[in-house]
Amino acid sequence: MTTAPTRTDWLAAHRERLDGALAAIRSRGYFSAFPESPSPRVYGETAAEDGKAAFEAHRGTAYPVETPGSNGTVSTEESPYGIPLDVQYPRTVEDGLDELLAAAQKGMSDWRKGGIETRVGVTLEILDRLHKRVFELANAVQHTSGQAFVMAFQAGGAHALDRALEAIAYAYEEMSRYPAEAVWEKPAKGDPIRLEKNFTVVGRGVALVIGCNTFPTWNSWPGLFASLVTGNAVVVKPHPLAVLPLAITVDVCREVLAEAGFDPNLVTLAVEHTGDGLAKPLALRPEVKIIDFTGGSEFGEWLEQNATQAEVFTEKAGVNAVLIDSTDSFKALCNNLAFTLSLYSGQMCTTTQNLFVPTGGIETDEGHKSFDEVGAGIANSIGKLLGDDARAVELLGGIVNSAVVSRLELAPEYGQVVLESRAIKHPAYEDAVVRTPLLVAIESKDEEVYGRECFGPVSFLVRTADTDESIELFRKTVDEGGAMTAGVYSTDAAVLEKVRDAALEVGVALSENLTGQVFVNQSAAFSDFHGTGANPAANATYTDGAYVASRFRVIQSRRHV
C-alpha cells in the first residue's frame, strides 16, 4: 500500500462540512452542504455549459471504467427525451462474478487498516469531486430518469450529495462510539487486574448496491457511501436504463481510492444487459454481506426473503396517502397538492397516490366544498400550474419508461376521471414522452385498485363516508401496502391527533397542513427521514443509526499490561 500524501489532508479539508453534518443529524434542523441552485452566480458562468459538454462527450463512446471479470460491453440506456445515448459499459455476466468478487475483496484489508478517519476523508473527497461534476451528473440523471434539468440537478446532484454526506456522518458517529484503545482495570485483592484492549472497526464484506431507474444517484449514494466508509467493498449494479450517473460515480470513487493508495476495485460497476437477471445470482453470493436495493416490491421482498446471508436494506413500493378533512386555506391546499402530483409526473416513490375525501365534502375558508369541488379545485390548480407547455415540461420532465405509459392509459377505467392526463410536446426534445397527471375519483370499496401502487402520474380521489373512514382506510392501506409519505389537512386538533396516532401506529411520516413551499413528497436531508422502515414500503430509512450500525463489526483484542 502506497501512502498518498494527500489522503490525511482530506478529512481536514472537509472537516467543516462533516462537522456541520454531525451537528445537523443531532439537531435535525436545516442544513445543506451543497448549493441546490444551478445558478451561474453560485457555480460560475461556464459550469452549466461545461457540464453539458462533459455529458455530451460520453454519448456514443465506451465509458472508460474497468470491471474485473467483465466480458465485452453493453449499451442499454434510452433517454426519455428521445435522444440517442449509446454509451457502452463493460458487461458483467454470471460467469465473471468469481473474478469480480475476488477483486472487490482484495483491497478490503488495506482499506480496514487505513482506519476510520482515512476512510471518512476519502469518502468526503469523493463527494467533493462528484460535486465538481454536478452539472455533468445532472445531465446524466436527466437523460436516464427523465427528470427535468433543474430537478435532476437538485435531486440527482445537490440533494443526493447531502444524503450521501448524511450517511457518511451517521457512519462516522457510529464508528466513533467505540474507542480504538482502552485500559480495563478491575479492583482485586492486592494489585488490580489490568488489561489493555484494542477495538477495530471491520467491514462485513462485499456490499451490493442495486440502483433504480428514477433516482439513480439519490437512492444509491446513501447505501454506497455508508458501506464504503465502514470498510466494505461495494459493487454497484445500476438499472439498465440508468447506468451513466452511476458509472460517473464509480469512476470518481475509483479515481480517489487509487490516489489515496487503495485498490480501486473497492468500488466496481456491474452493468448487465436488460433481462440478464444478474441481480439474483449476485445477491445470493456468500461474499455479499450487505445489499441496498431501490425498486419494485416483488424483487425487494425476494431479496429480504432469500438473501439471508446479507443485511438487506430495501426501498420498495407504497400507497402514499393524504387525508383531506378541512382547511383554512383551500387555494393553498389545492396548489400544494397540484405541485406534488405534477412534479416529475408523479414518478417519485413519495408522490401521493390516494387522496381520501369525505363524500359530504369539507369545510374550508371558502365555505363548504363538496367532494366534487375538492376534486375540481385540485384539478384546476394542476391545470393552471401546467397551463404553459414550455414551463410545464420543466416541472413534469419525461416519462421514465413505457411501463408507466401503459399504466397511465389503463387508469381512467378505474373510476370517474376528474382530470384527464394529456400529452405535452417538449419544445426542445421532439421525441420526449411527457404526460400530465391523471386524477380519478374512486369509491372506498375499490380498495383492490387504490390499495396497490399505480406508479406514475395517476392519483385517486377516494370517496369515504367521513374522516373516520378516511383514517381507517389510511391505516389499512399503509399497513398492508406500505407508504413512503402521508399527509393530512385538517383544522380540527382532535382529527390531527387521531391521524398522528394512526401514522405512528402504521409507521409512516406525516406532513400536516402543507400549504407553502414544502411538499409531502419532498424530504430534507439531515432533518427529514426518508421512509421509516416501519411499514412494507421500505425496511430502512435515510438515515438513522440502524441504517449504518450493522454495516460493520467491532473486533477486539486484549492482553495484560
Q: How far apart are CA 260 and CA 5, in angstroms?
A: 8
Residue (168 or 438) nearer to a second copy, CB: 168
If one asks whether residue 428 binds a second copy (CB under 8 A), the answer comes out as: no
Find the binder of a second copy among 12, 195, 403, 465 (CB under 8 A): 195
Q: Choose, by CB under 8 A, the member of 112, 159, 163, 369 that binds a second copy.
A: 112
- Considering only 3, 9, 23, 26, the residue that binds a second copy (CB under 8 A) is 26
Number of residues that bind a second copy (CB under 8 A): 68
Query: Residue 557, SS3?
Result: strand
Judged by CB under 8 A, does residue 545 bind a second copy? yes
Among 2, 41, 95, 188, binds a second copy (CB under 8 A): 188
Residue 529 in contact with a second copy, rule: CB under 8 A? yes
Please report whether residue 517 would count as binding a second copy according to CB under 8 A. yes
Neighbours of 40 (CB within 10 A): 12
Distance CA 220, CA 5 (A): 30
Number of Cα atoms under 13 Å in the Cβ half of residue 107: 25
Give least dist CB 497 to a second copy, A.
Answer: 11
Q: Shortest approach of a second copy to residue 532 CB, angstroms?
A: 5
Q: Across 108-254, where does the E strand assignment appear?
A: 181-186, 193-203, 206-210, 233-237
Q: State how far the Cα of 63 lies from the Cα of 455, in Å rounded to an integer.
A: 31
- C-alpha angle with apex 200: 184 to 250, nearest 5 degrees? 160
Among 347, 364, 436, 532, binds a second copy (CB under 8 A): 532
d(CA 73, CA 528): 40
In whole angstroms, give the CA distance from residue 206 to residue 233: 5
Q: Rule CB under 8 A: say whether 553 interacts with a second copy.
A: yes
Residue closer to a second copy (CB basis): 441 or 496: 496
Is residue 561 a contact residue for a second copy (CB under 8 A)? Answer: no
CB closer to a second copy, 50 vs 328: 328
**One residue of 66, 185, 365, 409 binding a second copy per CB under 8 A:** 185
- The C-alpha cell that represents 415 in the structure block: 373510476
Alpha-carbon distance values, 395 to 161, 386, 435, 448 (Å): 21, 8, 11, 30
For residue 192, give the DSSP letter. Answer: P
In 48-192 the beta strands, taken as DSSP E runs, fall at 73-74, 89-90, 181-186
200 binding a second copy? (CB under 8 A)? yes
Among 183, 403, 410, 428, which residue interacts with a second copy (rule: CB under 8 A)? 183
CB nearer to a second copy: give 391 or 500: 500
Q: How many Cβ atoms from other residues are within 10 Å of residue 95's Cβ?
A: 9
Output 73 or 306, the one with its CB closest to a second copy: 306
**Stretch touching a second copy by CB under 8 A, among 191-199, 257-265, 270-278, 435-443:** 191-199
The DSSP-derived string for 398-433 is: ---SHHHHHHHHHGGGGSEEEE---EE--SS-TT--
Which of 57, 66, 177, 466 binds a second copy (CB under 8 A)? It is 177
- The yes or no reply on residue 197 touching a second copy (CB under 8 A) is yes
Q: Which stretch binds a second copy (CB under 8 A): 348-356, 435-443, 454-462, 531-539?
A: 531-539
Interface with a second copy (CB under 8 A), residue from 7, 204, 316, 426: 204
**All three cell numbers of 231:** 470498510
Q: How far apart are CA 305 and CA 402, in angstroms?
A: 29
How many C-beta neighbours within 10 Å does residue 35 have?
16
Compute the least distance from the CB of residue 186 to a second copy, in Å. 5
3-state secondary structure of 151: helix
Q: What are phi and psi of 465, to 5 degrees?
A: -60, -45
Nearer to a second copy, 309 or 370 (CB): 309
Pick the binder of a second copy from 264, 318, 397, 507 (CB under 8 A): 507
Strands (E), 420-551: 423-424, 434-435, 438-443, 458-464, 486-489, 510-512
Q: Which stretch binds a second copy (CB under 8 A): 218-226, 404-412, 453-461, 523-531?
A: 523-531
Q: Which of 97, 91, 533, 65 is nearest to 288 (CA)?
A: 97
Q: Identify any residues that bridge with 315 across adjacent strands, giving them in sequence order.
A: 294, 538
Per CB under 8 A, which region of 135-143, 339-347, 399-407, 552-560 contacts a second copy? 552-560
Q: Which of 57, 193, 390, 403 binds a second copy (CB under 8 A)?
A: 193
Out of 3, 16, 27, 365, the residue judged to bind a second copy by CB under 8 A: 27
Task: State yes or no: residue 184 binds a second copy (CB under 8 A).
Answer: yes
Applying CB under 8 A, the span of 84-92, 235-243, 442-450, 508-516 interacting with a second copy comes to 508-516
- CA proximity to 75, closest of 295, 280, 238: 238
Residues of span 269-328 touching a second copy by CB under 8 A: 304-305, 308
Helices and strands, number each (H, E), in the chain: 22, 21
State the minimum distance, in angstroms, from the CB of residue 183 to a second copy: 6
Q: Which helix (H) or strand (E) holds 27?
A: helix 15-27
Site string for a second copy, 445-484 (x = CB under 8 A): ----------------------------------------
User: Is residue 83 close enough to count as binding a second copy by CB under 8 A?
Assistant: no
- Say how many C-beta atoms besides its own lie within 10 A of residue 380's C-beta: 16
Q: Which is nearer to a second copy, 473 or 508 (CB)?
A: 508
Residue 41 contacts a second copy per CB under 8 A: no
Strands 458-464, 438-443: pairing is: parallel
Contact 96, 70 (CB under 8 A): yes
Residues that bind a second copy (CB under 8 A): 25-30, 109, 112, 173-174, 177-179, 182-188, 193, 195, 197, 199-200, 202, 204, 304-305, 308, 500-501, 503-505, 507-518, 524, 527-529, 532-534, 541, 544-546, 549-550, 553-560
